[in-house]
Amino acid sequence: MDFRANTGPYGNHSLTVPCNGPALSLPLYPCDNVDFQVTTYYSNICPNGAYQGYGAPKGNFAITMALAELAEQLQIDQLEIIERNRVHEGQELKILGAIG
């Protein structure tokens, strides 16, 4: 996952919000070889910060849309892909050790 955030002119939440995107969405689907990169940059847009879920909805949206595209290509129901691949109770999630 390549997560990018335009933080506006100030960096008050420039690390925490973008890091929450991958950190709170990738553990929903177990995968031992997951990789993500977070890039933040400043610009002259309106200042922003920790609003609307603190980064998590953005990561979840990206994964959900990728699964929807995959389901369409495979011609199966999107909910079936989610059910097959979601984390299940008692499952070890190695990504949690990596992201702390």
pLDDT tens digit sequence for 22-72: 877 878 888 777 778 888 888 998 887 777 777 788 888 888 999 999 999
Extents of the domains making up the chain? 2-90
- pLDDT of 100 reads 62
The CATH number given to 2-90 is 3.30.365.10
Give the closest residue to 26 by CA, choosing from 78, 73, 63, 71. Answer: 63
**Measured CA distances, 18 to 10, 12, 75 (Å):** 14, 12, 33
- Please tell me the pTM assigned to this model: 0.71
